[in-house]
Structure 1
Amino acid sequence: MTTSVSKGCFVFKPERKKRKRTVDVEDYFADGDDCSNGRQRFSICQSLWEKIKTDTEKLQDELSKKILDSLLEFIKKSTSSFQRKSDEWACLMRASEIPTAALVLGVNVPDHDMTFQSLSDLLRESVTPFAVSVQAKECSALKNLVKKILERLMGVTVDEGEEDLALQGGPLPQKRVSCSIGALCQWYKTVTKKHAMTSPGKNCSTVMDVLQNPPIVVIFKDFEAFSPHVLQDFILICSRYIQELPLIFVFGIATSPSTIQHLLPHSVSSLLCIELFQSLSCTQHLATVIDKLILTAEFPFKLSGKVLQVLVNIFLYHDFSVRNFVKGLQLALLEHFHTQPLSVLCCKKKEALLSAQALKHQHVEMVRQLPSFMRYVETQEPQEQVQLLTSDKHVKEVCQKLLKDLRKYHKNYYSILRCLHSLTSALPKYPLGKQIRELHISSLEKNVWETNEYESAIQLLRLLAKDELVATLRKCADMLKPCETKKMSSASQQLEDYIVRLEQLDCMHMEDLSKEVMSPGKDLQKKTDLYHLQKTLLEMKGSRRTKQMTPFEMLRNEALDFIDCLVRSHLTPPELLPLYEVCYYSSSGFLRRHLNATPRTSIQTALHQPSYYLQNERLKTDAGTVSSSAPDICIVYKLHLECGRLINLYDWLEAYATVVSGAEGKDPDSEDYGQVDELKHSVRAGVPGVCEINKAENRPCGKTDLGRLLIEIYCDGGGWFVLFGQGDCLF
């Protein structure tokens, strides 16, 4: 029995873990209390993105098929010579040359991963299971390069502190392999010999069954980024094993093939048997993507002219990456379905009509508030206007009709757009643009037939010869044939009639007609006096002024007038159509802010207005003043802006010390006033007054090392002070 002064019973309840409420992605699309509309919009958005992704990958495979097939043929040819031990491989062995493919992919570096992934998959399927890719960032030294190749080929791991490789699950489970090409050679012989002994007479189902000695393909993804010394040493070592090891290199080059000569000396490059492969240009790739994804009526989601121009400008002036262009398209798609509740109607025809019939009252009110629908209501009769403003059922029926008209408009629009581009793309100086996207952007923003470029293009078309006109009209007719609408079928048939009439023109009749026009010249051969000669010349001059048009010219003008009528009828901007907001995304500013960031402007704004970024109202100051309570870097930056092209370092630091001392409440008459700390004071005392900084060039004019000086002055507790100059460079 235990005796104590007090007794008590204490209960400790276990702490309950707060359950984190998981939010589904589709919940972010919810519009108020209506979650069904949000989930439906998310489902449509997801299906459209899957279609974009699938079509883009398929298109990428089609475009890169030619160059990948050429690469495979080169590798197979090199492999077959090694298998047969032919004279060609014998020559390579005697010269210690390694078969090398220089693959020039262009400066669109973000797209290279897709190409190399496709190449690796094709190699493993049809040529060799021993294909490995390496990057410069993981191969800073020769040891790292060999280590990565061995790990990915042999399935091994290497401890950072050991020189050997511990094999895990590989063909030699009980041995340790050194990090060297010799170990790779020994492993390759063991694997190929073991497979040849264990699978004699079996059906050829794998690459190893077909080829007894498949090659080892090493792909250098970013060849320019590799250290020259690492590449040189690696190639020299591999050349010594080429008689026993069927090595093949693939160099991924972004700039020019001459970079091989820049990185490798002749003594090393001579060890490579190089063959050049050129990929399709990224601009052609972009044109194909736009043609398949944007300039089609099958894809319901559309971009406005300004949005498409932003994406194209980012492509042309930043990275040339088609992959990033598609990501920008994905962002526009996601933002459209997230911010536009009526985007539930942006889907296939049958689904859109069903969704329009199932619209709720709040969504019908949103339809009435659309600017395009309001303009449509204003053009109707008074009785119809009352129905549109009061009856939800009638609005739903009208929406179904307008959605059908919108789809017909897109089918006719893209057909006439391609027709006009085929006519004008070969004209001198390309008045309507060389690429169809340029004509498309112009047509989205305004009436293209009202521009001066269109007038000049039509004038040039009226000068075409018969053969050129027939060829261009035939292209236009072929482009209008696939269109399913009645108007385009009728237009295609009419163009065919013009072509037949042009081909049936009698050229001899045209020559006779021209001779008849010039027949008054025969009167000059007769004897006449001065009066009759003057009269005859005046008649000839008048006949030239009033020269009659030939049948070809009349028919040519008639055909071009017909095409001009088609353009004016079907290339109207989509903003004039009701319910265009359902399908078109027009927030170009949002895309520009998220895709085309300006870090320098943001940094300078943060330094100039710290109150906005720190959300502190006390840091607000009037224009031209410096707050003593602002961060040090902001004080120095504002003092830096007060100087001209040259800044005196001593005066700059004196001004900074004065502002900071005032914030600390020091007496101006005291000895410590103006001295921030002992380190800064000692360094400040040693700075000559003549040390000035050229702000335009971001470098000191005197002998003092500015970088070392600023580090010594503003190094406080391990935190570095960063100075941003007004030039292109940042300190």
Structure 2
Amino acid sequence: MEFLEALLLMSSLHLSDVNKDIIRKYFLYLSFRESIMTTTSVSKGCFVFKPSAKKKKLSLTAADYFIESLKNSEDGRMRFESCQLLWQQMKSQTEQLQEELNTKLFDNLIGFLKKSHSDFLNKKNDWNCRVRSSEIPTAALLLGVNVTDHEVTFNSLSDNLNEHVTPYVVLLQAKECPGIKQLLQKLLSQLIGCVADLDEDEEDGHTPISQRKMNCSMASLSGWYQNITNKSSSPKKKRRASSEGLQTPPIVVVFKDLESFTSSVLQEFIFISSRYCKELPLVLVFGIATSPMIIHRLLSHSVSSLLCIELFPSLSCTEHLATVVDKLLLSNQFPFKLSGRVLQVLITIFLFHDFSVQNFIKGLQLSVMEHFNSQPLSVLCCDLQDVKNRVKSLSHDQCENIRHVASFMSFVESQTPEAQVKLLTDDIYLKKMTKTCLTDLHAYHENYTPVLRCLHHFTCILPKYPLGKQIRELYCACLEKNIWETEDYKSALNLLRMLAKDELVATLHKCLEVLKPYSERPLDSALIKLEEFLAHFQSLEADTLENVDYEESSTQTGLQKKTDLYQLQKTLLEMKETRRTKKLSRFESLRLEVVDFLDGLVRNYLTRPEEQPLYEVVYFSAASILRKHVNAVPRIALNTALNNPSTYLKSLENDGTLSSAAPDICIAYKLHLECGRLINLYDWLEAFATVVNADDDSDSDSPKQVDEMTHARFIRAVSELELLGFVKPTKQKTDHVARLTWGGC
């Protein structure tokens, strides 16, 4: 209607060209508005409708990406499901381990919080204890330098406190609290979020605390707490049973990274909080990564005296790692295994980079994914019960993959000529032997772990630990080569042959406990042999002491007969010959038998995994790929990208010359490599403009003035190089920058 009225108006009036142009634009606006009103969105009014019978492409799932990356997706779905199932089991095991390791720490901390809360209730009406009541209960958690693992610990701590002590738990980080105002804002906002979860409705015309604008101060916090506790104690209000029925639950403030907080912010907060100890049951928790002395470095004596501090040390990260290795990698619960080099890469990153168990677990997860993605035979990496069914369903191509595996080819070469022909031509016979090999591989792992533990019990008590103090060190050594071929193993056996009786018997008892669960397996004979050794040691008499006393008495008698030099020399030579031909005592004979028995177990059961046929099914050995993804080298990646951008940008040609088609930062980087320690910005700009404008047609050889666009591109490229750490401004010359890498000319 409006469009028609405007059209009639334009036809009846004599207007200028300018006015007509304005009215035409107005017509376009009206038609555009009508199209919007007839459609459901602006885009439908702006663009042409194109009918399409095709359905929208569905978003790809993780399984689709996994299958697309495979060269042969015949069993891709099964491999992905096996990978997911295996990792879910390993992940649940790690979470359970984390809870078990933190149980003692959390129990002690919860007991401390409950005791502090009971003291607050007892002192609430006691106005004579002003000095003691001004102290704030503070728990100092010594968590270690593995900062990346602290987040998991604090989240678990918060859940435990919400469940057993109080719903009012505040987690603070230094980056969120640069000042006291921001700290109080964060504190109140998190507490208001806790109240939002409680069963509180608007009553009597009052607005809930979460919808009311508050002044962020300790007085507001005190008023809020009194309001909440009064409502929760009312018979009409029922709060969730998350604090075990406490009507006045404490407020726990957790400082995750105490070392990163500003000293003035901490001191001001503690000083203000101490003034409200009579009104607020406030408890502080300090997360400390270094040492408890950091508290006294950050806080003055007058402020630290306001805290009642108690230390709570946590389990060290190395002990946590030892538990993870023991439960995940040395357990026969999971079919997946790591090769010696891969395990060494993960342990090296842990020991020399971050001490983070969570990063170690992420590396383990990456190994699982890479193994199932890159190894076609990983479809057989499952429980022994499922292996038989999966072997039956193998296709001809999968059988060919088995025939091309290096360990299976070695196995074929060791068979008779008739068996070799059948293995290479008959798929049914191949499946039968595959099933046998995988069963033997499973039995190999069942015997490998207990013997490894027995060897570790013997070697961890030796001086200087020739085979390592931790079982993971011994495990890596056994995976890489036959352990009995090393010099460290030979020196360990020599030390074991001199082991004392008490230590030897105690170690035999430990080995007996290790082998007891395997009484119905091939290790049953080893268990019986250990019991015989222990019975012999129990009935052993003190023959050694009697022999020593007899030798000493005879030696003294021989030395007292003659005192001349000739007779003394003769007596000493006779004593030396007697020691050489001395008969071993009963204890020494038993000790040698025990050492020989242990050596036999090691040689029989601790062979390298590479000697087992089809070990590639369960072992991940691509250490270079893991190192590339986990232990990144950013400097090398930057150097490669800036020197050869065609490595990442496939549209560029790798001719090794400066080209205007390359990114600006690559051009500036290559030009700066030609300079010395100090780089003249004007000369650098002219060289940059010459390369960028190389494709422009120029009739004269005289240099052109740099245009604004080229100048802006150069400034941006130099700023990016400065951000990456290649150049920096210098005070020596105002129009120069200093080069920071690879020296200078």
2:171 alignment partner, SS class: strand
| Residue matched to 1:649 | 679
Distance in 2 of aligned mates of 1:420 and 1:500:
21
| Residue matched to 1:600 | 635
| Residue matched to 1:703 | 732
> What is the RMSD of the two structures over their aligned residues, measured on CA atoms?
3.6
| Residue matched to 2:107 | 69
Match of 1:672 among 703, 708, 714: 703
Distance in 2 of aligned mates of 1:583 and 1:642:
51
Distance in 1 of aligned mates of 2:435 and 2:146:
44
| Residue matched to 1:249 | 284
| Residue matched to 1:718 | none
Q: Does the 8 A contact of 1:609 with 1:620 survive in 2?
A: no
In the alignment, structure 1 residue 273 sits paired with structure 2 residue 308: yes
| Residue matched to 2:228 | 191
Q: Does the 8 A contact of 2:165 with 2:244 survive in 1?
A: no
Q: Does the 8 A contact of 1:306 with 1:586 survive in 2?
A: yes
| Residue matched to 1:687 | none
Q: Does the 8 A contact of 1:510 with 1:551 survive in 2?
A: no
Match of 1:22 among 59, 77, 89: 59
| Residue matched to 1:560 | 595
In the alignment, structure 1 residue 121 sits paired with structure 2 residue 151: no
1:100 alignment partner, SS class: strand
Give, as a single letter, the amino acid of the residue that structure 1 aligns with 2:219. G
| Residue matched to 1:515 | 550
**Alpha carbons of 1:401 and 1:177: their partners in 2 closer, same or farther (altered >3 Å)?**
same
**Alpha carbons of 1:88 and 1:427: their partners in 2 closer, same or farther (altered >3 Å)?**
farther
In the alignment, structure 1 residue 486 sits paired with structure 2 residue 521: yes
Q: Does the 8 A contact of 2:137 with 2:284 survive in 1?
A: yes
1:118 alignment partner, SS class: helix
Give, as a single letter, the amino acid of the residue that structure 2 aligns with 1:306. R
| Structure 1 gap segments, 5+ residues each | 3-10, 159-167, 682-692, 711-721
What are the superposed Cα offsets for residues 670-723 of structure 1, whole Å, 9 maximum, x if unpaired?
6637x7569999xxxxxxxxxxx9xx99878863368xx55xxxxxxxxxxx97
| Structure 2 gap segments, 5+ residues each | 5-46, 197-204, 712-721
Q: Does the 8 A contact of 2:166 with 2:249 survive in 1?
A: yes
What are the superposed Cα offsets for residues 403-424 of structure 1, whole Å, 9 maximum, x if unpaired?
1111111011111111111111
Q: CA deviation at 1:591?
A: 1.0
What are the superposed Cα offsets for residues 146-199 of structure 1, whole Å, 9 maximum, x if unpaired?
2222122123999xxxxxxxxx99744775432222122111111111221226
Q: Does the 8 A contact of 2:134 with 2:275 survive in 1?
A: yes
| Residue matched to 1:181 | 218
In the alignment, structure 1 residue 111 sits paired with structure 2 residue 149: yes
Q: TM-score, normalized by length of structure 2?
A: 0.82
1:79 alignment partner, SS class: helix
Q: CA deviation at 1:206?
A: 2.1
Distance in 1 of aligned mates of 2:547 and 2:654:
90
Q: TM-score, normalized by length of structure 1?
A: 0.84
Q: CA deviation at 1:323?
A: 1.1
What are the superposed Cα offsets for residues 371-412 of structure 1, whole Å, 9 maximum, x if unpaired?
111111111111111221121111111111111111111011
- 5 Å-filtered alignment, 1:46-85, equals 46-85=84-123
**Alpha carbons of 1:236 and 1:574: their partners in 2 closer, same or farther (altered >3 Å)?**
same
Distance in 1 of aligned mates of 2:243 and 2:453:
50
Distance in 2 of aligned mates of 1:551 and 1:558:
11
Distance in 1 of aligned mates of 2:733 and 2:431:
77
Q: CA deviation at 1:300?
A: 0.5
Q: Does the 8 A contact of 1:521 with 1:540 survive in 2?
A: no
**Alpha carbons of 1:120 and 1:156: their partners in 2 closer, same or farther (altered >3 Å)?**
closer
Q: Does the 8 A contact of 1:93 with 1:242 survive in 2?
A: no
What are the superposed Cα offsets for residues 572-609 of structure 1, whole Å, 9 maximum, x if unpaired?
11011001010001111111111111111111222222
Q: CA deviation at 1:228?
A: 2.6
Give, as a single letter, the amino acid of the residue that structure 1 aligns with 2:466. P
Distance in 2 of aligned mates of 1:205 and 1:95:
29
Q: Does the 8 A contact of 1:524 with 1:533 survive in 2?
A: yes
Q: Does the 8 A contact of 2:140 with 2:285 survive in 1?
A: yes
Segment drifting more, 490-499 vs 264-273: 264-273
Q: CA deviation at 1:291?
A: 0.4
Q: Does the 8 A contact of 2:726 with 2:739 survive in 1?
A: no
Give, as a single letter, the amino acid of the residue that structure 2 aligns with 1:271. L
Q: Does the 8 A contact of 1:619 with 1:629 survive in 2?
A: no
2:733 alignment partner, SS class: coil
**Alpha carbons of 1:85 and 1:95: their partners in 2 closer, same or farther (altered >3 Å)?**
closer
Q: CA deviation at 1:333?
A: 0.6
Give, as a single letter, the amino acid of the residue that structure 2 aligns with 1:185. S
In the alignment, structure 1 residue 725 sits paired with structure 2 residue 741: yes
**Alpha carbons of 1:599 and 1:480: their partners in 2 closer, same or farther (altered >3 Å)?**
same
**Alpha carbons of 1:261 and 1:89: their partners in 2 closer, same or farther (altered >3 Å)?**
farther
Match of 1:233 among 268, 278, 281: 268
- 5 Å-filtered alignment, 1:415-564, equals 415-483=450-518, 486-508=521-543, 511-512=546-547, 515=550, 519=554, 522=557, 538-564=573-599
- 5 Å-filtered alignment, 1:92-491, equals 96-155=134-193, 171-172=208-209, 175-198=212-235, 206-207=241-242, 210-483=245-518, 486-491=521-526
Give, as a single letter, the amino acid of the residue that structure 2 aligns with 1:155. G
1:481 alignment partner, SS class: helix
Q: CA deviation at 1:519?
A: 4.5
What are the superposed Cα offsets for residues 197-243 of structure 1, whole Å, 9 maximum, x if unpaired?
2269x9x9825673221111111112222233322222222222221
| Residue matched to 2:609 | 574
**Alpha carbons of 1:484 and 1:395: their partners in 2 closer, same or farther (altered >3 Å)?**
farther
1:443 alignment partner, SS class: helix
What are the superposed Cα offsets for residues 543-590 of structure 1, whole Å, 9 maximum, x if unpaired?
233233222212211110110011011111101100101000111111
Distance in 1 of aligned mates of 2:126 and 2:542:
62
Q: Does the 8 A contact of 2:645 with 2:652 survive in 1?
A: no
**Alpha carbons of 1:342 and 1:613: their partners in 2 closer, same or farther (altered >3 Å)?**
closer
Give, as a single letter, the amino acid of the residue that structure 2 aligns with 1:356. V
Q: Does the 8 A contact of 1:415 with 1:480 survive in 2?
A: yes
Match of 1:591 among 626, 630, 635: 626
1:248 alignment partner, SS class: strand
Distance in 2 of aligned mates of 1:422 and 1:85:
54
Give, as a single letter, the amino acid of the residue that structure 2 aligns with 1:647. R
Q: CA deviation at 1:252?
A: 1.1
Q: Does the 8 A contact of 1:30 with 1:38 survive in 2?
A: yes
Q: Does the 8 A contact of 1:421 with 1:439 survive in 2?
A: yes
Give, as a single letter, the amino acid of the residue that structure 2 aligns with 1:703. Q
**Alpha carbons of 1:360 and 1:529: their partners in 2 closer, same or farther (altered >3 Å)?**
same
1:649 alignment partner, SS class: strand
Distance in 1 of aligned mates of 2:630 and 2:605:
33
Q: CA deviation at 1:271?
A: 2.1
**Alpha carbons of 1:87 and 1:442: their partners in 2 closer, same or farther (altered >3 Å)?**
farther
Q: CA deviation at 1:490?
A: 1.4
Q: Does the 8 A contact of 1:219 with 1:252 survive in 2?
A: yes
What are the superposed Cα offsets for residues 114-147 of structure 1, whole Å, 9 maximum, x if unpaired?
2112211121122112112122222233222222
Distance in 1 of aligned mates of 2:250 and 2:213:
24
Give, as a single letter, the amino acid of the residue that structure 2 aligns with 1:133. L
| Residue matched to 1:688 | none
Distance in 2 of aligned mates of 1:107 and 1:533:
64
Give, as a single letter, the amino acid of the residue that structure 2 aligns with 1:21. L
